[in-house]
């Protein structure tokens, strides 16, 4: 019997090729999109779960009640970890973590690596990074031990056994000799921490100047609590240590008007779960981070697309049931049970869903590389083969099959056989459920279109808004590890001095935007000014920085080679001048204890966005401090021969740092990279909106066909009595237009609400215009009218005699 059901199902599917194709196409697209998006979400949420007992791992951070608002600061002081391990038994293990680029020399050959991690001996015992060679508990026991990644070891030693070999390494300081004590296996793609080489924290370039200093913070601290230890109890226990070590700082916070937290504390040491670190963007993370809201958005898009596909499937199936009503009536007359009729039609739904899933899996693998390239995903194809994922896919398939095929089957079961055979069957095209489905479809489509338009406007705004400086035709060159930044700056300036295409050369400590090297960081300094604490961002720059960036001076002057005292001078921005609260900031002196010197304000530069537009313009100072690094070189060039000047810069850089790769990039491109997340966000909405409107119109097409089939006789009578073509088209389309207008009313405030929340992530954003949302609804309405217009015109031009004969 099952074999007969299967044969009948295949025959019916083949007989109604158009409906079968539309159903198959819609479900295949929906399944493929859901696989891509859901597996991406699963991948991102699985970060760091491969570690042993990951729920016991925490990263320490300070919560400081500043006068303006609370601040979360993950950078820790050097003595903290020692005190935590010695005073609190709940701490099982811990490590400090910092990283830098490095240059490795072995047998006269040089190798450059971006990920040189400085950690403590507990690193390989508290994390589950397996070692191919060496022992985890002893790998960093020696002060001069170094552990290499598999790729780094292979690049340096080839087939040699690296354990016991000595290397020379330079990373922000003098060359040092290390002994290879282990080789780590490839770091999983779901790890926040990545490394090419690992050495003891004592070799870090920031270690020596900060030993024993509680007011110098420059690294992360990660601890493992003992099994069963309560993290909230631990945080309360640590509070006494924080109050003791930061007594003076807490007094300054009270003096400056800071308000305590609800628990009465002004400064707390809290623990961030290591499992949450990858999806928590409230503060700087170890490794890349991604917003949870972004992942929830992906999840929502997947669910909405699948929901639309299911509605489309139901509408097409119910529409086809009208043409098969006599078949159902005959089956019931010959003794078929309701369950048998239902199983027949549900089986057809299961076959289509099964075919769609079988097609979507290879399509997923085909589209995955393109998906990863477009959205910057690190999704691994192996995720799909995990037992949990396979079970989830099968479960979701069964759920969709039951939901999408269940309602049409129920409609068939409830048909009255006598009425069917007498030709009295009427399917209610205006039923509440069907109207609700079409309103739901187009509400989702209009919502996605509206979100797309707003996100697109915001992205264009970010890229077009004046930043207060000119980033065009400025090349940013990362210095790297081979040469000192300040020496490289002077050499580059000398070599390009006679080049007519070069307008100016300068340097700075941090990149503007995100360069090819991917590096981006901030450096802030706090100090007392007129009995209150002032914090500002610092940029260490070279001569001609304001000229290169075309900054405007609001008061005073820029740094000049004619003034030898400018090494203790500072140029502040207008925001810092306002924060000082003085009428004329030029001539004021800052006593910065961290640097052990006083800085005299020599000029005020007009505010410019030295950070992304997610953040407001903050107080900032430009300094020329010899103790601070120059990490990037800036070259302002003429626009007439950009390819030629880039080749010139590559050649010149090869003379300055012959072993370093040239990673120069144009500054305006770096600025754009700051908004890659927003660009991905917009692209996802664009693709989702297109799929949603196409699938929705497929369902609308089915309903239009069904409505016309059921009103064939009415249309024929109206035409015989003289009804015009326009009135016939209006008769068919007006009910659908009403439903789409209702969908617009529902979707418009939702789009405004959700995108208003999203725009709060930006210090500078567009104002949502009412006509953007109206345009989204009108676009959906126009596409819908085009979809049903053809069928309406076809019915309006039909011969009324033939229409009356059909009944």
DSSP letter for each residue of 4-15: HHHHHHHHHHHH
**Partners of 573 in beta bridges:** 605
| pLDDT number for residue 787 | 72
| pLDDT number for residue 365 | 84
Q: Which sign, positive or negative, has the C-alpha torsion 181, 182, 183, 189?
A: negative
Q: Which residues contact 581 (CB under 8 A, 6 or more apart)?
A: 530
Percent of all residues in the chain with a pLDDT value above 70, rounded to a whole number: 80
| pLDDT number for residue 127 | 95
| pLDDT number for residue 329 | 61
Q: What would the two tokens of residue 256 be?
A: 């400056």
| pLDDT number for residue 86 | 93
| pLDDT number for residue 307 | 81
DSSP characters over 544-599: THHHHHT--EEEE----TT-GGGGGEEEEEHHHHHHHT-S--TT-EEEETTTTEEE
- E strand map for 150-292: 166-170, 176-184, 197-200, 217-225, 267-273
- Residues of the chain scoring pLDDT < 50: 424-425, 427-430, 807
| pLDDT number for residue 227 | 92
| pLDDT number for residue 89 | 94
| pLDDT number for residue 639 | 82
Q: What's the pTM value of the predicted model, to 2 decimals? A: 0.78
**Partners of 533 in beta bridges:** 528
Report the Cα–Cα distance between both ends of the chain, in Å, rounded: 35
| pLDDT number for residue 183 | 95
| pLDDT number for residue 333 | 62
| pLDDT number for residue 518 | 55
| pLDDT number for residue 395 | 79
> Between helices 712-720 and 725-759, what is the axis angle to 10°?
130
| pLDDT number for residue 726 | 66
| pLDDT number for residue 80 | 95
| pLDDT number for residue 443 | 85
| pLDDT number for residue 274 | 95
């Amino acid at each position: 019997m099952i074999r007969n059901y299967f044969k009948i199902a295949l025959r019916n599917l083949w007989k109604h090729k158009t409906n079968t194709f539309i159903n198959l196409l819609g479900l295949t697209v929906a399944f493929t999109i859901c696989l891509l998006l859901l597996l991406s979400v699963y991948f991102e949420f699985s970060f760091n779960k491969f570690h042993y007992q990951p729920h016991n791992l925490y990263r320490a951070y300070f919560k400081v009640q500043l006068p303006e608002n609370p601040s979360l600061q993950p950078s820790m002081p050097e003595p903290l970890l020692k005190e935590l391990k010695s005073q609190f038994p709940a701490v099982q293990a811990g490590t400090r973590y910092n990283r830098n680029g490095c240059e490795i020399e072995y047998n006269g050959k040089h190798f450059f690596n971006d990920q040189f991690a400085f950690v403590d001996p507990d690193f390989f015992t508290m994390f589950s990074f397996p070692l191919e060679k060496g022992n985890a508990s002893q790998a960093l026991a020696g002060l001069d031990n170094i552990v290499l990644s598999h790729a780094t070891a292979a690049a340096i030693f080839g087939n040699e056994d690296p354990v016991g070999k000595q290397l020379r390494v330079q990373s922000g300081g003098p060359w040092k000799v290390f002994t290879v004590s282990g080789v780590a296996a490839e770091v999983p793609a779901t790890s926040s921490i990545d490394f090419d080489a690992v050495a003891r924290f004592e070799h870090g370039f920031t270690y020596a100047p900060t030993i024993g200093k509680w007011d110098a913070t420059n690294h992360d601290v990660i601890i493992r609590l003992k099994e069963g230890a309560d993290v909230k109890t631990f945080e309360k226990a640590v509070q006494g240590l924080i109050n003791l070590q930061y007594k003076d700082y807490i007094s300054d916070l009270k003096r400056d008007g800071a308000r305590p937290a609800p628990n009465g504390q002004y400064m707390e040491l809290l623990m961030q779960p290591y499992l949450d670190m990858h999806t928590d963007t409230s503060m700087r993370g170890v490794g890349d981070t991604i917003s949870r809201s972004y992942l929830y958005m992906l999840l929502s898009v997947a669910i909405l697309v699948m929901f639309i596909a299911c509605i489309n499937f139901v509408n097409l199936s119910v529409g086809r049931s009208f043409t098969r009503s006599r078949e159902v009536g005959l089956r019931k007359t010959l003794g078929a049970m309701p369950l048998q009729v239902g199983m027949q039609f549900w089986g057809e739904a299961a076959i289509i869903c099964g075919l769609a899933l079988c097609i979507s899996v290879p399509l997923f693998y085909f589209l995955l590389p393109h998906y990863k390239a477009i959205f910057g995903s690190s999704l691994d194809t192996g995720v799909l083969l995990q037992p949990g994922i396979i079970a989830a896919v099968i479960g979701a398939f069964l759920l969709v099959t039951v939901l999408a095929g269940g309602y049409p089957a129920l409609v068939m079961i409830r048909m009255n056989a006598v009425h069917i055979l007498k030709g009295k069957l009427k399917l209610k095209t205006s039923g509440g459920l069907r109207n609700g489905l079409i309103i739901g479809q187009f509400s989702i489509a209009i919502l996605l279109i509206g979100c797309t338009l707003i996100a697109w406007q915001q992205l264009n705004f970010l890229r077009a808004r004046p930043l207060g400086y000119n980033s065009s035709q400025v090349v940013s060159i990362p210095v790297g590890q081979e040469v000192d930044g300040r020496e490289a700056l002077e050499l580059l300036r000398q070599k390009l001095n006679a080049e007519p295409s070069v307008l100016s050369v300068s340097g700075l400590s941090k990149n503007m935007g995100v360069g090819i090297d991917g590096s981006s960081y901030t450096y802030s300094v706090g100090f007392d000014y007129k009995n209150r604490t002032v914090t500002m961002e610092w940029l260490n720059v070279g001569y001609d920085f304001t000229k290169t960036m075309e900054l405007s001076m609001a008061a005073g002057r820029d740094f000049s080679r004619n003034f030898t005292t400018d090494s203790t001078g500072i140029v502040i921005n207008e925001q810092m001048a306002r924060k000082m609260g003085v009428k004329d900031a030029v001539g004021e002196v800052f006593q910065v204890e961290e640097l052990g010197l006083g800085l005299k304000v020599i000029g005020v530069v007009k505010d410019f966005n030295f950070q992304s537009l997610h953040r407001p313009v903050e107080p900032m100072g430009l300094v020329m401090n010899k103790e601070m690094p120059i990490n990037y070189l800036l070259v302002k060039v003429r626009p007439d021969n950009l390819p030629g000047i880039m080749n010139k810069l590559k050649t010149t850089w090869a003379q300055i740092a012959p072993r370093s790769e040239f990673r120069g990039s144009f500054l305006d491109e770096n600025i754009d990279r700051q908004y890659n997340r927003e660009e991905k966000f917009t692209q996802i909405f664009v693709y989702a909106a297109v799929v949603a409107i196409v699938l929705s119109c497929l369902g609308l097409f089915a309903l239009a066909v069904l409505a016309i089939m059921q009103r064939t006789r009415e249309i024929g009578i109206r035409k015989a009595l003289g009804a015009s073509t326009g009135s016939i088209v209006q008769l068919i389309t007006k009910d659908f237009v009403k439903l789409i207008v209702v969908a617009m009313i529902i979707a418009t405030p939702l789009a405004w609400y959700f995108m208003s929340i999203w725009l709060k992530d930006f210090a500078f954003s567009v104002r949502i215009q009412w006509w953007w949302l109206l345009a989204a609804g009108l676009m959906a309405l126009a596409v819908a009218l085009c979809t049903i217009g053809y069928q309406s015109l076809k019915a309006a031009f039909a011969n009324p005699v033939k229409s009356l004969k059909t009944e």
